[in-house]
Structure formats: C-alpha cells, structure tokens
Amino acid sequence: MLQDNWFLRAERFFSLFDQRLMNSRQRLRTALEHQQADRVPIDFGSSFITGIHCSVVEKLRQYYGLEFRPVKICEPYQMLGEIEDDLADALQLDVQPIFPQRTIFGFPNENWKSWMAPWGQEVLVSEHFHTFTDNTGDTFIFPKGDCTAPPSGRLPQSGFFFDTIERIDPEFDEENLKVDDNLEEFGLMTDEEAAYWQSQSERLRDGNRAVNIHLNGTCLGDIALVPAPFLTHPKGVRGVAQWYMTAAEQPEFVMELFDRQTEIALKNMERLYQIAGDVIDVVVVCGTDFGTQTSLFFGVHQVREIWLPRYQRINNWIHEHTHWRTFKHSCGAVKPLIETFIEAGFDILNPVQCSAEGMDPKLLKEKYGSRITFWGGGVNTQKTLPFGTPDQVREEVLSRCEIFAPGGGFVFNSIHNIQALTPTENVVAMFDAVHAFNGTA
Amino acid sequence: MIASLQILTESIKTGKRKEAKAATEAAIEANVPPEEILNALSSGMADVGRRFKANEIFVPEVLVAARAMQTSMALLEPLLVKSGIEPEHTVVIGTVEGDLHDIGKNLVAMMLKGANFKVVDLGTNVPADKIIEAVQQHNAQLTALSALLTTTMPAMQQAVEKIHEKNIPTKIMIGGAPITQEFANDIGADGYAADAASAVDVARQLVSAR
C-alpha cells in the first residue's frame, strides 16, 4: 500500500512536470495513450478529412493578420487549403501532414502556379493542374495532368469542390471481372516516391508538431477512389453504384482485390518505415465510409467478412513493427461498427459524427473512450458551424471538449473538413472555445 | 397467384435480375394482365423498402433489387403504355444546382418507381428554372429535391422559393445528408425524408393530401 502511494505520488509529480514541458508531439502521443495531456491536442490540416476549404483558409489568414498570399491547394478534389506554419501557430495546431506524393488526380503538387477559382479566389495549384471550362461554366480536370485523357473530375460553376467523373471502360464485362483491372493504381513504391518521403521526413524530423500521413494503398474500397480519378483510362469496376452492387453480388471478387491490395501495401509500409518511420506518429489507414446519416452502407456481418481480416493484417503489422497509431475514418452512424473497428486494431476513429443516429457523444465516450481515440466530434459541420451563431458554436465546442477530453483519447477536430461558405466568425469562435478550454486563449 | 409472378416478386426481393427478366417474359407470354405483373414488381420493391428501413438490408442490396426491377420494367413498360395504364402520380426529381451527388437521389427515384410513381429524373446540378419547367411540362404532383452539401442548401432553398413564387401546384419534398425536418420547415418544403424507403411513405402522404 505504501509503495502504491509512493508510486502514485511520483507519477503525479512527473506528469505535472511533463505537462509543463509538453510539445505538440508529446501532447498528441499522450492523448493517444489515453492519458491526460497538458491540453487537448488540436488538428486541422493534417489529412484530407480533417482539413479546411481554401476559401476559409484565406479568410482565417486575414483574420489573424498574417501576410497576404494566395493559398496553396494541397488537395484539389475537395479544394483544401494548405495550412502554413504561421497559421498553424495562430490556431495552436499540434499535427502536421506529409501528404502523398501524388494528389487524387494523379499528379504531384509541384511548381505552383496561379489559378482563379470559379468563386473568384486566386489560389496556387500544381503546374500539372490542367482544366477546361465548358459552355455551362463547369470546370473539368485531367488525370495526371494529361489533357489527352478523358477528364476525371468536375467542378460545377456554382460549386466549391470537384466530384469524380465515372469513366466506364466500354469493354467492361461485369460477368467476367478481373482483379488486375482494379489493381492498376496499387503498385510498389517508386524511387521517385521514396526520394519524396526521404526529403519530407528530413524536413520534419526535428519538428515540434506530430506528423500524420495517409498510407498508400491501405484504403479498402473508398467510394471516392473507386472511379480512379488519378488514372487516365481506368478499367474494371469504376462506377459508384456498380461498386456497391459488386460487393453485394460478388464479395469474393472484392475480398481477393483487398487481399492483393494489402499484400502490396504491406511491402510499401516496410519501405516507408525504413525511410520515414521515426518521423511519423499517425497513419490514416482507411477512409471508407460505412455510415449514412441514419444507418450503415453495409451490414455488420459484411464488414466483418470483407474488411475486418484485411484491416487486422494491416494494423497488426503496424503495431508489431512501428510505434505508429492507426486512424480509421468513417462518416455517419457507425456505432454498430465501433467494436469491429477496435477488434480490427484501429487506435483512432474519425470524424465521430455525433449528429448521426446513435452517435451520442456521452455514450461513445463511456462505452468506447478507453479503447479508441476520438479524433473529431468537436463541432457539427453540417449545421452548427456553417449555420449557427458564434455563441452556439462556442457552446457546442465546450460541451464536446468536456465530454471527450477527460482521460485523453481525444484530438480536437471538427466533424470532417470545414466547408466553403462557413462564416469566419464561427470558425474563429470554434478556435477561441477550444483555446479557452485549453487555457491558452 | 401465378407461379411466374411469385418468382418475379421473389427475384426482385433478392435482386436476381436474370430471374426477374425470365419471370417477366414468362408472365407476358402467359398473357398475364400487365397491371398484375406491375403489382408483383411493386410488391417485391415494397418488401425491399420495408427491410431497408428495418436495417435488415443495406444500400448494395437495394441497388441490386432496383436493377432487377428496372430490367423487368423495361419489358413491361411498352405493354402498360399499350393498355393505357399510367401511374397515378408523377414526380420530378433532381439534385440541386452546384451539387453533383446522386447516389441518394437515385435510390429515392428507384424506390418511387417501384412504388409505381412516374419518375422524371433531371439528374444532378439542376437549376431551379429547369426544375420548374419540368414540373409544369409533366404536371408533376410532386417535386423531390436532393442536396448533399451544406454549400448547396441555399440553392435548394432558392428552388423551393421559386416554385412557391410561381404558385406551381406541386408538393415539394427534400432530402440529402445535411437536410433535416427543421430545414424543410424553415424553407417551406412540404416534406422531408431521411432515407429512400421513408421517401416513398412521405411521397404517398403528400400526394394523397392534395
């Protein structure tokens, strides 16, 4: 008993000491260990599902009095803006990204050039960002920057994001599916990619912030990627409805595809770990959405049969060979799947859509909070943040922090990306509230 | 009940489109009245809707069922036209301007077809004027609008307001991820549905209340 007390006291003393010294990386790692950090870690911009639309990034830069410069488009599909260090400091962000070497449209983000977005904002895009506008004013983008290929994305004249264009191979035969056709995008890491990871990891090795990356090829059946907007002439199952129907009618095809995809991804992870393993803290394994607003896209039994064993292979490898924490994104009402995600070995769930059926924050924290980290859930981006008042935003943010923060296992982020047209005063109210909660306002 | 109709209903329920096609052909061959074949189809889709709402089946199963229904419908439609059998109600459906998402909208359209509505699908990114034009042209008793993005909710509101301004005699129902009953009330839509199966119930209520 005496010994226990001594240990407890010593632990408390050292944790207080640690708390004062915590940098962003320590803060995140502590929270992911389900321990109380000095404050709640905050993420915006470390992934393509925790980001901010470029128009909002520009307004935030103005609000915080930062040097005016056009925002870089780090992710052209959702038109997410890069959050540079000066803004990350103002927002007190704890996590930063190393983005994949190629964007979702298949080209590297390099040699920036100016581009005027349809909503009248000048932004910076990759030199390979090639588009044309048709007579309705819609903008079309080419895969790999190849203007001879059919365009793979479309941005409506009054829209703020691209959507993928389904390009179905005329020779596609659903009775005779070939796994290789749907494997075209999954290859071994090229030397060019390896060099990219080398340089990026060197850039961030001594950084203060934690690092989050999207793993290449572990995303199993993400519906945004099925149409392969990065390929010039995709073959195989590339339609959204077609994909869902294939999963229902030919699950053995999908499982074989996922198995082969996993094989390749494991080899790539090994190489990535050798190059940049020590720099990386968190890996986004998969962004496949399983939830709708009120229900699931697939039954629990289907997820367990088709996805669970492959997720386990990936997560087990990571946990056996690295210190990385694994991140699963799924929008919607996924409460019936959280036990499966935990069993699959995921450490983190995002975006924690509290407004969806059954996703009550208190219940989630109570039932799963000690076993999986909630990365998100901070504020509703479908209602409160875009359409509420700053007071309503503040109230919701504080309430979520009070529920999710105790004992760690929480990283503050809104529920998915902050969308275009979200009022700046609401975004600022959100940051002010989480900073107030952290005692750093 | 004729065996081929039982098989037809079952094949819709399970999404077996080849069986659905064969059963429809057999029923036509046996001179079964087209409205009876239609009833068998609708009964299959009603069961699909019920199980979808009860979370017994999910989006993929609904899609395969709807595809089986469409295969059968393609054979049946010419006979229905020939017999002068028309759906009682017409619905114009589309995703609002600026929004390209259509999985949810397509599911609603399929379920409404299965419930024997005439469905005029305008696709995605549809400007308000085009919606109004189609509603007038087809005398649609019902207009169904979808939006997936918070950024296109204002376009939905504008479309609803324009329909009201022009006093067009159509009921309006809305849906899509960020849409709620509260939003429907705010913008003056007559109905809201959270999913494709509920959309059929809401549609029926709205047209019967006219």
Residue B1's pLDDT band, with cuts at 50, 70 and 90, is low
How far apart CA A264 and CA A275 sit, in angstroms, is 17
Say yes or no: B149 contacts chain A, CB-CB below 8 A. yes
Q: Which residues on B lie below 8 Å from A247 (Cβ)?
A: 60
Least CB–CB distance from B63: residue in A241, A295, A422? A241
What ipTM does the predicted assembly reach? 0.93
Question: Is residue B147 scored above 70 in pLDDT?
Answer: yes
Residues of chain A predicted below pLDDT 70: 1-21
pLDDT at B210: 64
Report the candidate in A401, A417, A430 with the shortest Cα–Cα distance to residue A39. Answer: A401
Determine the residue among A139, A161, A163 to mutate to test chain B binding: the one whose Cβ has the most chain B Cβ atoms within 10 Å.
A163
Determine the residue among B14, B57, B63 to mutate to test chain A binding: the one whose Cβ has the most chain A Cβ atoms within 10 Å.
B63
pLDDT at B3: 85
**CATH 1.10.1240.10 intervals, chain B:** 3-82
In Å, how far from its chain's centre is CA A122?
Answer: 25
How far apart CA A215 and CA A65 sit, in angstroms, is 35
Say yes or no: B55 contacts chain A, CB-CB below 8 A. yes
Q: Which residue of A has its CA nearest to B106?
A: A241
Least CB–CB distance from B58: residue in A297, A386, A421? A297
Question: Is residue B99 scored above 50 in pLDDT?
Answer: yes
Instruction: List residues of A whose CB lies inside 8 A of any B CB.
Output: 138, 154, 156-161, 163, 240-241, 244-245, 247-249, 292-299, 302, 381-383, 386-387, 419-422
Q: How many angstroms separate the Cα of A336 from the Cα of each of A290, A299, A359, A368, B162? A: 10, 9, 10, 12, 41
Sign of the Cα torsion A343, A344, A348, A354 reads negative
User: Greatest CA separation found in chain A?
Assistant: 80
Two structure tokens written together for B24: 């429809």
How far apart CA A261 and CA A67 sit, in angstroms, is 44
pLDDT at B209: 80
For chain A, domains (ranges, CATH) are 22-65+83-101+170-438 (3.20.20.210)
Q: Which pLDDT tens digit goes with each residue over B124-140? A: 999 999 999 999 999 99
- Topology at the third CATH level for domain B90-208: Rossmann fold (3.40.50)
Question: Is residue B181 scored above 70 in pLDDT?
Answer: yes
Two structure tokens written together for A151: 């365009």
Buried b (16+ CB within 10 A) or exposed e, A222-260: eebbbbbbbbeebbbbbbbbbbbbbbbbeeebbbebbee
- Alpha-carbon gap: B83 to the closest alpha carbon of chain A (Å): 33
How far apart CA B92 and CA A173 sit, in angstroms, is 32
pLDDT at A2: 42
Q: Is B87 exposed, middle or buried (0-12, 13-18, 19+ CB in 10 A)?
A: middle
- What are φ and ψ of residue A289, in 5° steps? -85, 125
Least CB–CB distance from B64: residue in A248, A295, A296? A248
pLDDT at A20: 58
How far apart CA B57 and CA B63 sit, in angstroms, is 11
Which residue in the block uniquely carries the two structure tokens 């930062």?
A66
Mark which residues 168-187 of B lie under 8 Å from A by CB: 177-178, 180
Q: Which residue of A has its CA nearest to B53?
A: A295
End-to-end CA separation in angstroms for chain A: 41
Spatial contact of B131 and B143, defined as CB atoms under 8 Å apart: yes
Say yes or no: B61 contacts chain A, CB-CB below 8 A. yes
**CATH 3.40.50.280 intervals, chain B:** 90-208
Least CB–CB distance from A296: residue in B58, B63, B149? B58
pLDDT at B2: 77
pLDDT at A377: 98
pLDDT at A134: 96
Q: Which residues on B lie below 8 Å from A241 (Cβ)?
A: 63, 103, 106
Superfamily, domain B3-82? Methionine synthase domain (1.10.1240.10)
| A282-286 sheet: strands from edge to edge | A95-98, A210-214, A282-286, A325-329, A348-350, A373-375, A410-411
How far apart CA A301 and CA A306 sit, in angstroms, is 9
